Amino acid sequence: MPEPVIPLDAIADTPAEPEAYDWNSIVNDLNQLLRLRVTPIGLQRFRTEEEMAAIPRLRRPTAVHTFDQIVAQAARLGWTVGATAKDLSGTQCTAVIGLTPRDEDWLSGKRMAGVWFETLEDSAAHQAAMDLAEHGRYEAIVASPLTSGRLPRPDVCLIYGTPGQMIIFINGLQWSGYRKFQFSVVGESSCADSWGRALATGEPSLSIPCFAERRYGGVLDDELLMALPPRFIPKAVAGMARLAANGLRYPIPQYGIQSDARAGLGRSYG
């Protein structure tokens, strides 16, 4: 079973939710600091399909997709895409984002036994370990680039990047109010480690995208995924800016594996 999550009100450095976000400025800062290759996007759930339909210039799937594909259409094509459970390929996708329940059939893991896991018990343990958004409140979800302005206050944001970009982003989060971040790896269905965990806990959640995300969602071999509520991004940007002023910035220059390290260490660590 997943480890218990520390309540947000017990975390002193949890950023407050602002009244509005200037996403054009924030994303511009992210791109300058990290040189991102993929468009940062937001995910927002809606109580009804009718509420979702009011989003301007909304695209709807014309075929059955995985949710990885919906995310990819927003992040890699710049589209604003809305979906309900009937648009998606099955409950392995829809349960993670809270559109369908974690019922006995889902928990059994029978669809993954013998394929991803040796036994039915192994498969059921995997299902039980996944972090899922709350079910019963929403029936639709939209993915859209943050700079589109169509989701002013998304539930969570998704940022794709290389390991080097991700460690600098995490360093920015830790610049002030330091705390240790702990992330999870369920293996296949790692969307539970990213947007599922971020929706469920309200915490930054880094994941290694899984086979399905790479096969169907177009995630590249060198990419990780950070999912987090929007209020954390300005904190990370401010922290990264301070680190950059100290000479700690992306891209991280190679010092050389055979050179005398003392001069470089003196600048970076004092």
Dump the DSSP string for 138-173. -SEEEEEEGGGSS-SS-SEEEEEE-HHHHHHHHHHH
pLDDT band at 186 (very low <50, low <70, confident <90, very high): very high
This model's pTM is above 0.85: yes
pLDDT band at 10 (very low <50, low <70, confident <90, very high): very low
Q: What is the pLDDT of residue 30?
A: 98
Over range 82-102, report the average pLDDT.
Answer: 96
Over range 133-141, report the average pLDDT.
Answer: 96
Pairing of strands 224-228, 205-207: antiparallel
pLDDT band at 9 (very low <50, low <70, confident <90, very high): very low
Q: What is the pLDDT of residue 16?
A: 83
Q: Is the pLDDT of residue 4 over 60?
A: no
**Please, are residues 213 and 190 in contact by the beta-carbon 8 Å criterion?**
yes
Over range 216-235, report the average pLDDT.
Answer: 98
Task: Name, in order, each residue with C-beta under 8 angstroms of 134's C-beta and a sequence gap of 6 or more.
Answer: 98, 199, 200
Over range 5-25, report the average pLDDT.
Answer: 68
Pick from 10-19, 51-60, 99-108, 196-205: least confident: 10-19
pLDDT band at 11 (very low <50, low <70, confident <90, very high): very low
**Please, are residues 50 and 73 in contact by the beta-carbon 8 Å criterion?**
no
Q: What is the pLDDT of residue 166?
A: 98
3-class state of residue 224 by DSSP: strand
Over range 93-103, report the average pLDDT.
Answer: 95
Over range 242-267, report the average pLDDT.
Answer: 91
pLDDT band at 7 (very low <50, low <70, confident <90, very high): very low
Over range 72-100, report the average pLDDT.
Answer: 97
Question: CB atoms < 10 A from the CB of 149, how many?
Answer: 12
Q: What is the pLDDT of residue 13?
A: 63
Q: How far is CA 82 from CA 54, 74, 144, 158, in A?
A: 11, 10, 9, 16
